[in-house]
Amino acid sequence: MTGGLIFLGIIVILVFAFIAYYNKFIKLKNQADESFSGIDVQLKRRHDLIPNIVETVKGYVKHEASTLEKVVQARNIAMSANSVEDKAKAENMITGALKSLFALSESYPDLKANQNFISLQNTLSEIEDNIQNARRYYNAVVRDYNILCESFPSVIIANIFNFKKREFFEIEETERENVKVNFN
């Protein structure tokens, strides 16, 4: 009788542990989905702002069409990206194109002093900060989720219910390099 109660107690503990781990997977999965949605919201704001920036710059730099085309092309690619990896690559393209655009503005003092351009630049800076914060939160949730997918005993539940590791929203190696300024 005592052996049966001990066995029953062990089974009950295992069932509760199983349920707790399963619920933790669901919680982290939903947090990752929600946090990626937060990134998407900020990226949408960024995508909506880009045409305004391009139109403002167009009036000042008519002969710099290739730079403007690169910005628009990068935006269009980013808007059609679906996976985390594709979105990250596309957003890195936009970042590079926008850097070129703002570097271009340095050559045009009238553009640099334009209130509309300054306002758009400030808004973009705010959006970039929000994207960085959303990315950081998403990557933290994904880290916790991935740890749960790989550690014992939760790896057993991950395999049973097909919980797979998720990709981080990472920047490219070139984005990590210091910007080179040359005054020659």
pLDDT (0 to 100) of residue 23: 95
Q: Under 8 Å CB-to-CB from 87, ≥6 apart: which residues? A: 39, 43, 78, 81, 169
Whether the per-residue pLDDT at 173 is higher than 80: the answer is no
Distance between CA atoms of 114 and 51, rounded to whole angstroms?
Answer: 16
pLDDT (0 to 100) of residue 85: 85
Whether the per-residue pLDDT at 176 is higher than 60: the answer is no
Whether the per-residue pLDDT at 172 is higher than 70: the answer is no
Q: What is the mean pLDDT of residues 60-80?
A: 79
- Quick: pLDDT tens for 81-129: 888 888 888 888 888 888 887 777 777 777 767 777 788 888 888 988 9
> Domain residues of the chain, as ranges?
30-135
Q: What are the C-alpha distances in Å from 40 to residues 3, 127, 132, 161?
A: 55, 12, 12, 27
Please answer whether residues 132 and 46 qualify as being in contact, where contact means their C-beta atoms are separated by less than 8 angstroms.
no
CA atoms lying within 13 Å on the CB side of residue 159: 7
Please answer whether residues 67 and 96 qualify as being in contact, where contact means their C-beta atoms are separated by less than 8 angstroms.
no
Listed residue (98, 140, 138) closest to 120, CA to CA: 98
pLDDT (0 to 100) of residue 62: 66
Whether the per-residue pLDDT at 153 is higher than 60: the answer is yes
Distance between CA atoms of 11 and 8, rounded to whole angstroms?
Answer: 5
Comparison of pLDDT for 18 and 176, the residue scoring more: 18
Whether the per-residue pLDDT at 174 is higher than 80: the answer is no
Listed residue (79, 72, 32) closest to 54, CA to CA: 72
Q: Under 8 Å CB-to-CB from 141, ≥6 apart: which residues? A: 28, 31, 32, 35
pLDDT (0 to 100) of residue 56: 78
- Quick: pLDDT tens for 4-57: 889 899 999 999 999 999 999 999 999 999 999 999 899 888 888 888 888 877
Whether the per-residue pLDDT at 58 is higher than 80: the answer is no
Among 39-48, 124-133, 140-149, 171-180, which is the least confidently predicted range?
171-180
Measured CA angle at 90 (ends 87, 94), to 5 deg: 130
pLDDT (0 to 100) of residue 67: 77
Domain 30-135, CATH among 1.20.1440.20, 3.40.50.740, 3.40.50.12780, 2.60.40.1120: 1.20.1440.20
Please answer whether residues 70 and 103 qualify as being in contact, where contact means their C-beta atoms are separated by less than 8 angstroms.
no
